[in-house]
């Protein structure tokens, strides 16, 4: 049993749940106290000690039965027991009209035989189940196995078989009954396949060593990331944000040791008879106020999304954030972030934008901005643009950009393109560059993190 | 009650909490039992108003322990959570004891000797007498076993979390002037969080985790019947159905159990015989606390009215038609 639990923990880790050694020790302790006889108690003891994040609960619920429940496929019915000798004869007759392979499968359905372990293994090897260690592929693999077993054709064959039997003069009601039983048997087989696929994947997962390709993802250009990698990055961003937050908080705290604030000190020490026990210092650092405009066109989306999620994860170190998204016009998106995660929020914004063919147009977006939201920028705010500066030959509206950057304390541009590409083709980057205090190239997550770090602490 | 009770099995927890008018699911009961057996703090998460704080109160009631509550907020620090030296009292004592101090220092040959003598008496001023105990220290030093409730930990700063680690893993507190103070009895610790921000891994690692969701119809019905017995069963059923349906809508803030209970009490107070449009119009604001939510709920109510003549079967609205 212990080995099983260890494997289960390994599989959870592979699925992305962070479990420390202390937590797995807790799990064993908890199991010692409650035993393994009661399935529900056992499940709760593992769940409460291993899973500390509500978003990981579904993963736990999916894996738990695969490790600790014995596969219970539906009891299959043997049709031959049900049939009268006469009917069985008719059936055998009808079966003869099918091809060899289909007949085998139909026979199995009629007898109600489950697949043997050996057969399952062979099937698994055939479709490459031995390599997969991600639950997301489960349904797809089941479909492939069904295909290998010719489920679709068999279903058709069952239909034909029933028609044949009807022609041969079998009772309609009886045929309906048989059909139902056959369908149940087939369903049971499908369940068996599903179970098998799940267990094999789970077993593979517990064998996978904890992944260490983060380094590699960190330094890969954001545009080339697959959906899978992005998922991993999102997770990493959350961890990163925590680290960043403590670092920034520390620096802001240290920065507090400014001049003695005589007024505040006297006020604070009145209760001690004006003996200054408690010194107060002037706090010169202000938490930054941020106005960020993000390009959310297809090419820029991963970069903007990660940037926004990073920003919102360290919200408590920033006094105020106004965020806007644009493709061809501007949308105010801050309110969405208070209720949604960055990715959902970005998707939601894309839905809000009217359908149609988009051309990135920063010029118009800047005009929208100056008309409606210019008040958000003042001498304390940092104005950030996340975009590649490619305007599709629209008017870049440098004048507006100049107005905004003059109002702001600092203007920062985050661009995923390397400087050598600026000004080529439809890029207006060089036009804007003169008005920016600093420009960061943020092609990878590592660069993005470095940029945010600088942005919030200098 | 002097002797604190300990639970011997999850079933006992359930019965004990039931006596405190808290209806615990099997999951809650089992985890509470585990937390007590393993001596680990319990971290409960879930939407606001599903009874996380109430759970800690019920545990305190069921075990006959004193409940010590630490409400977290932004800017909470050690001096508010753990202990503080009572400067004013120290100062007052030095003033009043001036003569006595003079006596002690009299006859000392030089400054060094005087300082030595004073240092010998220093313990008097840094003793428990002048230590102002805040909730955490109070829970640890209490003569009797206690239940410590750290409420809404997600509101406190990340630094405060780090500071909690020592208290939660070893149940001890280091006061530089006094040394390390160990817990006399290990308190049962319950932390609650509304999940407004991610808690640190280190904190989570030290806790057992319990996620409390909105209750099922049956559970909520049981809670309403228990807490507001005056409400007629049929009416209670209608009310619970409606709240459950409201939760399925896309609202900014879904109504919680505590709001259901408030509403049920309001229905009793207003002596409502059946839930009709006028009642809803006037009392819906007890359930929904956002203007936009109210509008949304009312709109879907209006729609049901407009279609009332025809046959409608909108499962969301079954609750407020009879």
A103 and A149 within one domain: yes
CA dist., res. A135 & res. A202, Å (int): 8
Cα dihedral A312, A314, A316, A320 sign: negative
Q: What is the CATH number of the domain that holds B45?
A: 3.40.50.300
Residue where a domain stops, chosen among A139, A173, A207: A207
CATH code, A347: 3.40.50.410
Q: Is the CB of B195 less than 8 angstroms away from the CB of A54?
A: yes
**Do B87 and B69 sit in the same domain of this protein?**
no
The answer to whether position A217 is within a domain reads: no
Asked whether residue B202 falls in the same domain as residue B291, the answer is: no
Give the pTM.
0.67
Q: B142: which strand partners? A: none
Contacts of B308 (CB under 8 A, 6+ apart): B321
Q: Are A235 and A321 contained in the same domain?
A: yes
Query: Distance of CA A51 to CAs A37, A47, A115, A232, B25, Å?
Result: 21, 5, 35, 18, 19
**B229 lies in some domain:** yes
In a domain, B3, yes or no: no
Same domain, A239 and A313: yes
Q: Would you state the pLDDT for residue B208?
A: 92
Residue B41 within a domain: yes
For residue A215, being part of any structural domain is answered with: no
Residue A15 lies in a domain: yes
Query: pLDDT over 70 for what percent of chain B?
Result: 92
DSSP state letter for A353: S
The reply to whether A385 falls in a domain is yes
Of A44, A68, A92, the residue that ends a domain is A68
Question: B221 and B87 in one domain?
Answer: no
Buried b (16+ CB within 10 A) or exposed e, A186-212: bebbbbbbbbbbbbbbbebbbeeeeee
Residue ranges in A21-137 assigned as alpha helix (H): 21-34, 39-50, 57-68, 79-82, 85-95, 100-111, 117-127
Chain B CB contacts of A30 under 8 Å are 34, 37-38, 208
Q: Is B70 found in the same domain as B93? A: no
Per the domain annotation, does A164 fall within a domain? Answer: yes
Say if residue A105 is in the same domain as residue A200: yes
- Each as own residue / partner, the long-range contacts of residues B118-126 (CB below 8 Å, 24 or more positions apart, any chain) are B125/B90, B125/B93, B125/B94, B126/B85, B126/B177, B126/B178
Q: Answer yes or no: do A30 and A159 share one domain.
A: no
Task: Quote the number of domains for chain A.
Answer: 3
Q: Which residue of B has its CA nearest to A235?
A: B198
The residue among A68, A98, A115 that closes a domain is A68
Asked, for residue A213, whether it belongs to a domain, the answer is no
| Residue B227 within a domain | yes
Average pLDDT over residues A168-182: 80
Kindly state whether residues A424 and A358 are assigned to the same domain: yes
Residue range B227-237: average pLDDT?
88
Do A187 and A248 fall into the same domain? no
A352 lies in the same domain as A401: yes
Looking at the structure, tell me whether residues B102 and B192 fall in a common domain: no
CB distance B204–A52 less than 8 Å?
yes
Helices (H) and strands (E) in chain A, counts: 21, 6
Size of interface A-B (CB pairs under 8 A): 82
CA atoms within 13 A on the CB side of A286: 10
The CA distance from A336 to A188, in Å, is 45
pLDDT score for A217:
65
CA B319 to chain centre: 32
**CA A127 distance to own-chain centroid:** 26
Query: Which range is least confidently modeled, A289-298, A325-334, A444-453, B311-320?
Result: B311-320
Cβ contact B191:B44 at 8 Å = yes
User: Model confidence at B56, in pLDDT bands (50, 70, 90)?
Assistant: very high
Q: Is residue B56 part of a domain?
A: yes
Q: Higher model confidence: residue A411 or residue A170? A: A411
pLDDT classification of B1: cutoffs 50, 70, 90: very low
CB neighbours of residue A288 within 10 Å: 21
| Together in a domain, A239 and A298 | yes
Range of the domain at A345: 230-254+286-457
β-strand pairing of A410-415 with A381-386: parallel
| Contact yes or no for B26 and A40 at CB 8 A | yes
Same domain (yes/no): B106, B254: no
**A418 shares a domain with A349:** yes
Q: For strand A438-441 and strand A410-415, is the pairing parallel, antiparallel, or unpaired?
A: parallel
Q: Are residues B25 and B89 in the same domain?
A: no
Tell me the backbone φ, ψ of residue A51, rounded to 5 degrees. -105, 120
Q: Are residues B296 and B194 in the same domain?
A: no
Q: Does B240 share its domain with B310?
A: yes
Q: What is the rounded average pLDDT for all residues in chain B?
A: 83
Helix (H) or strand (E) holding A325: strand A320-326
B108 within 8 A of B118, measured Cβ to Cβ: no
| Residue B1 maps to a domain | no
CB contact under 8 A, B205 and A30: no
pLDDT of res. B149: 94
Contacts of B10 in chain A (CB under 8 A): 34, 41
Q: Which domain holds residue B186?
A: 10-79+138-211
Residue of A27, A33, A44, A348 for testing the chain B interface, max B β-carbons within 10 Å? A44
Q: Are residues B154 and B97 both part of a single domain?
A: no
**d(Cα B97, Cα A137) in Å, to the nearest integer?**
79
The confidence score (pLDDT) of residue B311 equals 45
Does pLDDT of B128 surpass 50? yes
Say yes or no to pLDDT of B155 above 70. Answer: yes
At residue B5, the pLDDT reads: 64
Residue B2 lies in a domain: no
Euclidean distance between CA atoms A230 and B142, whole angstroms: 50
Please state which of the ranges A200-214, B197-211, B263-277 shows the lowest mean pLDDT. A200-214
Q: Are the CB atoms for A51 and A11 separated by under 8 Å?
A: no
Domains in chain B: how many in total?
3
Q: Is pLDDT above 70 for A286?
A: no
Nearest C-alpha in B relative to A340: B252
Measure A334 CA to nearest chain B CA, in Å.
Answer: 15
B290 and B150 in a common domain: no
């Amino acid at each position: 049993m212990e080995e099983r639990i260890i494997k289960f923990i390994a599989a959870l880790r592979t699925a992305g749940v962070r479990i420390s050694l202390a937590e797995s020790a807790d799990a064993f302790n908890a199991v010692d106290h409650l035993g393994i006889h009661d399935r529900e108690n056992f499940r709760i003891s593992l769940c409460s000690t291993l899973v500390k994040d509500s978003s990981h609960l579904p993963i736990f619920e999916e894996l738990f039965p695969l490790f600790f429940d014995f596969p219970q496929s539906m009891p299959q019915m043997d049709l031959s027991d049900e049939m009268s000798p006469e009917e069985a004869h008719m059936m055998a007759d009808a079966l003869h009209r099918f091809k060899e392979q289909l007949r085998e499968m139909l026979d199995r359905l009629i007898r109600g035989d489950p697949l043997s372990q050996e057969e399952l293994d062979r099937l698994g090897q055939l479709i490459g189940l031995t390599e997969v260690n991600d639950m997301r592929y489960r349904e797809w693999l089941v479909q492939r196995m069904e295909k290998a077993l010719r489920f679709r054709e068999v279903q058709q064959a069952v239909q034909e078989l029933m028609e044949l039997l009807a022609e041969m003069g079998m009772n309609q009601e009886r045929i309906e009954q048989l059909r139902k039983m056959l369908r149940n048997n087939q369903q049971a087989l499908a369940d068996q396949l599903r179970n098998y696929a799940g267990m094999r994947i789970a077993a593979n997962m517990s064998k996978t060593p904890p992944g260490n390709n983060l380094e590699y993802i960190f330094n890969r250009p954001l545009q080339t990331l697959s959906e899978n990698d992005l998922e991993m990055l999102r997770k990493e961003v959350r961890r990163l944000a925590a680290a960043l937050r403590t670092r920034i908080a520390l620096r802001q705290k240290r920065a507090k040791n400014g001049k003695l604030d005589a007024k505040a000190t006297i006020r604070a020490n009145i209760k001690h008879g004006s003996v200054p026990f408690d010194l107060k210092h002037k706090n010169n650092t202000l938490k930054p106020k941020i106005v960020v405009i993000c390009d959310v066109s297809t090419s820029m989306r991963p970069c903007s999304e990660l940037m926004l999620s990073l920003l919102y994860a360290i919200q408590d170190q920033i006094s105020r954030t106004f965020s806007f998204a644009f493709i061809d016009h501007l949308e105010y998106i801050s309110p969405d972030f208070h209720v949604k995660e960055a990715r959902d929020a970005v998707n939601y914004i894309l839905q809000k934008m009217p359908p149609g063919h988009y051309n990135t147009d920063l010029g118009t977006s800047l005009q929208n901005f100056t008309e409606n939201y210019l008040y958000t920028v003042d001498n304390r705010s940092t104005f950030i643009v996340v975009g590649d500066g490619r305007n599709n030959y629209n008017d870049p509206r440098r004048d507006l950009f100049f107005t905004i950057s003059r109002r702001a304390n600092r203007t920062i541009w985050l661009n995923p393109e390397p400087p050598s590409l600026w000004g080529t083709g439809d890029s207006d980057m060089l036009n804007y560059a003169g008005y920016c205090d600093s420009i960061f190239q943020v092609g990878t997550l590592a660069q993005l993190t470095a940029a945010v770090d600088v942005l919030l602490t200098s | 009650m002097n002797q604190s009770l300990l639970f011997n099995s999850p079933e006992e927890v359930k019965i004990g909490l039931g006596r405190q008018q808290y209806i615990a699911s099997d999951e809650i009961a089992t985890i509470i039992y585990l937390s007590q057996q393993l001596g680990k703090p319990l971290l409960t998460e879930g939407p606001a108003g599903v009874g996380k704080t109430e759970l800690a109160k019920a545990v305190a009631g069921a075990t006959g322990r004193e409940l010590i509550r630490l409400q977290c907020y932004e800017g909470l620090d050690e001096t508010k959570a753990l202990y503080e030296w009572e400067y004013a009292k120290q100062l007052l004592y030095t003033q009043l004891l001036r003569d006595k101090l003079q006596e002690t220092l009299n006859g000392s040959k030089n400054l060094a000797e005087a300082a030595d003598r004073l240092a010998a008496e220093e313990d008097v001023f840094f003793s428990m007498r002048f230590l102002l105990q805040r909730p955490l220290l109070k829970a640890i030093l209490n003569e009797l076993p206690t239940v410590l409730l750290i409420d809404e930990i997600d509101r406190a700063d990340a630094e405060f979390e780090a500071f909690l680690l020592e208290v939660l893993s070893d149940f001890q507190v280091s006061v530089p002037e006094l040394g390390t103070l160990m817990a006399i009895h290990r308190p049962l610790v319950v932390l609650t969080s509304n999940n407004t921000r991610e808690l640190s891994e280190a904190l989570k690692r030290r806790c057992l985790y319990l996620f409390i969701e909105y209750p099922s119809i049956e559970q909520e019905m049981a809670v309403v019947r228990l807490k507001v017995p005056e409400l007629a069963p049929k009416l209670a059923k209608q009310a619970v159905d409606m709240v459950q349906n409201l939760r399925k809508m896309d609202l900014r803030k879904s109504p919680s159990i505590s709001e259901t209970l408030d509403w049920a009490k309001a229905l009793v107070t207003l002596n409502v015989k059946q839930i009709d449009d006028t009642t809803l119009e006037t009392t819906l604001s007890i359930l929904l606390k956002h203007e936009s939510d109210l509008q949304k709920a009312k709109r879907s109510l209006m729609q049901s009215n407009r279609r009332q003549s025809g046959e409608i079967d909108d499962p969301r609205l079954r609750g407020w038609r009879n």
